[in-house]
Structure 1
C-alpha cells in the first residue's frame, strides 16, 4: 500500500507541476475569498521573515525544492544551493524562474536518497507532511546526517485548515494519513498528508538530535528552526 501511494505521490507532483503555484498564490480552485487569502499571505510573510533571519550559512541543501518559491528565498541567505526534487517537471520550472548559477539541481526520490555531504543549512517546505509515519524517523535521521556540526535545519509545513487546500478537496480531521487530491483536469491521486502538532514535531526533531524551536502561525503554517550541536 505504502509503495503504491508513494509512487502516486510522485506522479501527482509531476502532473501538478504547472498548477502548483496556483495553490501558493491562491489562484483558481485555491482562491478562498479576500479574507482568507489576506490571512494566508500575512502568515506567509511571517514565515518568510523567519527564513530571512537565518544567518551564518554558505552551503544549503533544499529538499523537495519544487517550483522555486522557497529556493528564491534561500538565494538571499546562502552562497550555494543544492536543490533536490523527484520531479523533473518542477525542476525545470525552478531553473527557468531563477536562472541562478549558484543553484545545482538533482532529480532524486527522497525516499531512496542517501546523504553524502554536510551542509550549513538543510531546508524543506511542505514535504515532511508527505512522509509516512513508518519512514519519518529514518528520513529525519538522514536530514541530521546532512547537517554539519553547528549547522541548521529549517522546516515549513501545513497546519490542519480546510481553506488551505482547493475548493474541491475535502479535509477531514480523522487522522487518516491518506487523502485524495485532484488536478484541474479532475484526475485524482492518493497521497500521504500528516498534520503535525508543535509538540509532535518538537519531539521528532529532539529525538534525532536537533535543538529546535517549533512555532505556528494563527491558522495555516507550522515551522521549525533547529541547530545540530
Structure 2
C-alpha cells in the first residue's frame, strides 16, 4: 500500500450549504444512466488495458473484504445508487433496505424489486428509522458527507446498528481528482461534467484515516481504515 497525499486540515473548509447539497443530488439523478461507465471503466473512463486491470484488481481486493464479513440477517445500504454493491448484499441476507435520495439511481438498481429488498427514497441527511440492522454499508458516499456533518453521520449509523453490528464502506482517494469528468476542486467541493457537457458542483471530501477513526469512535464504532495501492479507501467497523 502506498501513502496517499495529505488531505488538507478541516479548518480550511467552509461549511456546505443546503443549495450545494441539492445540486449534488440533482447531479447524481442526472448521472444515473451513465454512472456505471465510471465503475466499469467504459467510454471516457477507459484508461487503457494496464490501468483498467489495476482498477479491477483493486476493486476485487475491496470486494473480497466485504465478502469475508458476516453481514448478519438485516442490512441497511445507504446511497446504493445503481447497485454495484447491492448485488453482492441481497443474496446473502434476510432483508436489505436501500435508502437513496435519487429515484433515478434506484431505477437502475437490479435488486430493487427483489422480495427481500425494500427501497426508500429520502434525503440521507435527514432520514431516520426505528429499525435496527446487523450491518450498515455505504459505498462512495462518505466523501459526499460535509465535514461539519461527519460526526453526526457516524452517530446516526451507530444508532441504526444493533449491539455488535458491523460497518463497511469504500470510497475514493485523492487520485480521483484526475478522473476525466472532474473539472476542478476546491475546499469541500468538486466540479464534475456529465456526458451532455453540463457541469455541476458536488461535495467531495478525502478524509484522513484518523479523521474517520475519530468520528466513528465518538459514535461508539471501532473502525479499521485501509487503502489499496492506487484507487480506494475502505473500512470495516464494529459497534461497541
Please give the range of the TM-score, normalised by the shorter of the 2 chains. Answer: over 0.9
Q: Which runs of 4+ in 1 moved over 6 A?
A: none
Offset, 1:214? 1.1
Residue aligning to 2:57: 42
Secondary structure of 2:200's aligned partner: strand
- TM-score, structure 1 length as denominator? 0.93
In structure 1, C-alpha distance between the alignment counterparts of 2:158 and 2:111, rounded to whole Å? 29
Q: Using a 3 Å threshold, how does the CA distance of structure 1 residues 72 and 223 change in structure 2: closer, same or farther? A: same
- TM-score, structure 2 length as denominator? 0.89
Offset, 1:99? 4.0
In structure 1, C-alpha distance between the alignment counterparts of 2:43 and 2:70, rounded to whole Å? 36
Residue aligning to 1:213: 224
Secondary structure of 1:138's aligned partner: helix
- Does residue 115 (structure 1) correspond to residue 126 (structure 2)? The answer is no
- Does residue 16 (structure 1) correspond to residue 16 (structure 2)? The answer is no
- Does residue 201 (structure 1) correspond to residue 212 (structure 2)? The answer is yes
Residue aligning to 2:68: 53
Structure 1: runs of 5 or more not aligned: none
Residue aligning to 1:124: 138
Q: Which moved more, 1:195-204 or 1:59-68?
A: 195-204
Residue aligning to 2:199: 188
Offset, 1:199? 2.2
**Pairs within 5 Å for 1:1-229:** 2-55=17-70, 57-94=72-109, 96=110, 99-162=113-176, 165=179, 167-170=180-183, 176-229=187-240
Pairwise CA RMSD: 1.6
